[in-house]
Structure formats: structure tokens, C-alpha cells
Amino acid sequence: MQLNSARVVLTGASGGLGQTLAQQLVQHGAHVLLAGRDAAKLQALANRLGSASHICVADLTQTQGVADLTQAAQTFKANVLINNAGISAFGLLQDQTWDTVEQVIQTNLMAPLRLTHALLPHLLSQPQASIVNVGSAFGSLPFAGFAAYSSAKAGLRGFSQSLRRELANSQVHVLHVAPRAINTALNSPAVNALNRALGNTSDSPEAVATHLLNALAQNRSELHIGFPERLFAWLNGFAPALIDRGLAGKLATIQQHAQTPQP
């Protein structure tokens, strides 16, 4: 995909990674349709980016929100969809409300699947198009304390792979990106404390955005960001019992931070 001719629908545009992606896309010469729920943040971002950006306020967990963004994307003549919107919820499953679990699944899996389904006929009508699904290392390396989030991101990875194979004889390319932890407000204080306790590395939004856009420009299909996370994800697919044993030694630390009262 040539980024300087891309017309990109970017969900979750007002978040930490979303804003950075938008900025880098415009720097590469792309036009961006910024989508999200916070009108004020989207407008502030659009003001900074200038005429190469447009906004669409939409809640993608709602039918009307998907319809509104689909219509806006068609009018915009989009040829790239980046499903970036996501939320996290750190905590032991037994301590979480079902509303929290459902919201994580709806936002991280159902919303991108539903938007892709709605926009796919338009993307198939373009000379060239791309779909980018922003997953997580936890989609390939499910982690204690993130049962709902890991489930949603694992589903998004499966969706990406199956859709790529389904569209193999079309002009629509599918890329799945799996970052490790990113230094954004998506991480709660408890998650930041857990990462420090376990020695987990976090990447900057700028670094993740650069890796993602390079992979998009190169028409890559899969991108796992970070080592040793790439190795652990491979090991989890090859020999999950090894990962079970490795994480068992960290379970007490995870449980301790998962039970920290949330602000």
C-alpha cells in the first residue's frame, strides 16, 4: 500500500496510539478519517493535522455508530481501514462484573468485526485496499489477569487470519499487528505497577506506529512487536505447557496487582 495515496479510516483515533498513527499517516501524505466517541478530542486532533484529516463521531459498539462510520468512509472514498480502537480491563475474572467483560469483548472483537463486515463491499470495489487489525501480544500469549482482553485479542487474530485467507484472490490485503505493552493511558496504574514488578518492557506509541505503517507499506500479513514476546508467542503455539509453567511462577505477583483497588 502506498501511504501517500492512502485514504485511511482510523478507529480509536483520539487515543494514545491513534493520535500518533494519525500524525504519522499525514506526514506520509495520507488522508485520514478520524473516528472515535470523543468529539472534542477528535476535533482538537483534526485541528492539529489540518486539511488532510476529517472526523466522524461514532460509538462502534452500537449499530448506528457502525452505520454512520460506514457511510462516512464510503463518502471519504476510503481504501484503508485500521481497526485500532480498544479497551483493557486488568483484574481476576471472578472479581469483574459481566458488564466489564462484555464491554471488552464488544469493543476489541465485535466492533472491528462488525465494521469490517459493513465496509468490506466498499473496500472490495477499490483498485487496492488494506485492512489493519491492531491486536496484542496477549492474543497469542494469553495472560493471567487479562482473561477477557486476551480472549478478544485472540479472536481478532483468528479473524484476521481467516479473512486474509478468504480474500487471498482479491485486491484487499489484511494485516494483523500484535504490539506488547504501549506507554499510553490505556494502562491503568495497576497494570503499570505489574509491568514494573515483572520487568515487562513497554514501547512508545511512536515506535509502534512506525512499525505498523512500515508493515502496511510492505504489505506484510503478520507483525509481532517486541522480543522476547515474539518468542513466547511462538512457544505458546508450539508448547503451551511450557508457558503454563513459566507463568505459574508469576501468578502470585499477578494476583497481588490484580486485586489492587482501581481508581
Angle at 183 between CA 182 and CA 187, to 5 degrees: 85
Q: Tell me whether residue 167 is exposed, middle or buried, using C-beta atoms within 10 angstroms of its C-beta: 0 to 12, 13 to 18, 19 or more.
A: middle
Rounded Cα–Cα distance for residues 207 and 11 (Å): 19
Count of C-beta atoms within a 10 Å radius of residue 204: 14
DSSP 8-state code for residue 210: H
Residue 104, helix vs strand vs coil:
helix
User: How many other β-carbons are positioned within 10 Å of the β-carbon of residue 242?
Assistant: 12
CB 183 within 8 A of CB 136: no
> 50: helix, coil or strand?
helix
> What are the cell numbers at 119?
465496509
Instruction: Classify burial at 97, counting beta carbons within 10 Å of its beta carbon; exposed 0-12, middle 13-18, buried 19 or more.
Output: exposed
Task: Give, in order, the Cα–Cα distances in Å from 95 to each of 138, 206, 255.
Answer: 20, 34, 11
**Which residue matches cell numbers 507499506?**
217
**Active-site position among 138, 149, 159, 232:** 149
149: annotated active-site residue: yes
Catalytically annotated residues: 149
